[in-house]
Structure 1
């Protein structure tokens, strides 16, 4: 059975062939059309409508973008450490200890990131129906599992609210993410984004893969690509 993500991707590719627009633009149009249809559904149809569509009309808040960038950087760093363990550990006991430490550290950041986004969206009016759908869980109890005390603390810091009683660390981290100070280092986040696009973007098969990016970021990615894909360098030509 085709997943929701795959169905949208296939629809976007069909639209891209028909209209000649970029894949990113086609995917955005497919999402808009789907959300518009969802917003027109009634409660009698068994699908809550309106809320998701209204959220779609709002731009993404800067603090959410920075939240994803911060935790993605941390997660990628721990995954790098976990992979690196395999190159020089001859002792299985040492390997398993260090690898699992790194992976569970990455998992903590991932759960915190997902939970904080979910908590933010719930406050913004997203219904439990859509939270279950987008978190890909079956019931509200599984949604609540993401909404931990650490998440509440983190969201308070991100939104500049008063620090909760008995707060440990995540309120301050959230505050630094929002203000791009302290633990949050935007220049390192840009480095990560450059490498992620260079490694995973569907380029050059899709020559417009980077068109939606800021010019400075796109130029950095294009400069990195030859070093990753065994393409000839200017000095070698």
Structure 2
């Protein structure tokens, strides 16, 4: 007979294969489901009735969603850069705390808008609330619904070429520009950021095939950046070097 822990681990692995979430997230989901079972809410929480991952396995990722992620990742990275830069030159702590938090909350606003817009897109495609809860790592449907703000609905409408739900605002225009790669969107900046992130966080050279999935031009750009970074590191003085 399996132990309780082994049975839960096996259930988590099955859920991981089904949903694509991490093992840790699947294990936590199993724990939460069993908690709800004990509270008498089994059917409402653990029985998906709409579309799940299997429905989309043979579907390509919508281009507008990858463009959406690129746009907001660029904006988030820009605000994080500003926040880091504040610490380099602000000598007045009062100014530092205000400006740093302004930049970080701007980044957070873009992240929430990005998450909400992807979730609303999936909702409109019929993805079951059960899976949205899992992907968003929340316990209740209300926590999912909280992402569907008027700003998100406006942004999604612009992204998908629909009229704005209400009077069009800035985020409808931004969504339209993301889809058309014009205006507010800046594909060259997005590609530069992608190259920089691959150069910083990719597993190359430990994994010689780490960049094989990238287009050849982007591969070349990433490898060139890695060479520059290594050259810069090799010219830095070692600790204690140059001390009198």
Shift of residue 76, structure 1, vs aligned partner = 0.1
* 1:37-59, Cα deviation, whole Å (9 max, x unpaired): xxxxxx8x945376221122210
Counterparts of 1:85-234 in structure 2 under 5 Å?
85-230=86-231
Aligned residues: 200
Counterparts of 1:15-34 in structure 2 under 5 Å?
34=18
Q: Does the 8 Å CA contact 1:116/1:151 hold for their aligned counterparts?
A: yes
Q: Does the 8 Å CA contact 2:18/2:53 hold for their aligned counterparts?
A: no
Q: CA RMSD in A?
A: 2.6
TM-score by length of 2: 0.76
Q: Does the 8 Å CA contact 2:46/2:130 hold for their aligned counterparts?
A: no
2:26 aligned partner = none
Q: Does the 8 Å CA contact 2:74/2:190 hold for their aligned counterparts?
A: yes
2:48 aligned partner = 48
Q: Does the 8 Å CA contact 2:154/2:172 hold for their aligned counterparts?
A: yes
Shift of residue 228, structure 1, vs aligned partner = 1.6
Shift of residue 232, structure 1, vs aligned partner = 9.0
- Could you tell me how far apart the structure 2 residues matched to 1:68 and 1:105 are? 16
* 1:97-122, Cα deviation, whole Å (9 max, x unpaired): 10011001000000000000000001
Shift of residue 92, structure 1, vs aligned partner = 0.7
- Could you tell me how far apart the structure 2 residues matched to 1:108 and 1:159 are? 21
Q: Does the 8 Å CA contact 2:132/2:144 hold for their aligned counterparts?
A: yes
- Could you tell me how far apart the structure 1 residues matched to 2:79 and 2:107 are? 6
Q: Does the 8 Å CA contact 1:226/1:232 hold for their aligned counterparts?
A: no
TM-score by length of 1: 0.78
SS of residue matched to 1:103: helix
Shift of residue 199, structure 1, vs aligned partner = 0.2
**Structure 1 residues 56 and 133: CA distance shift in structure 2, 3 A:** same
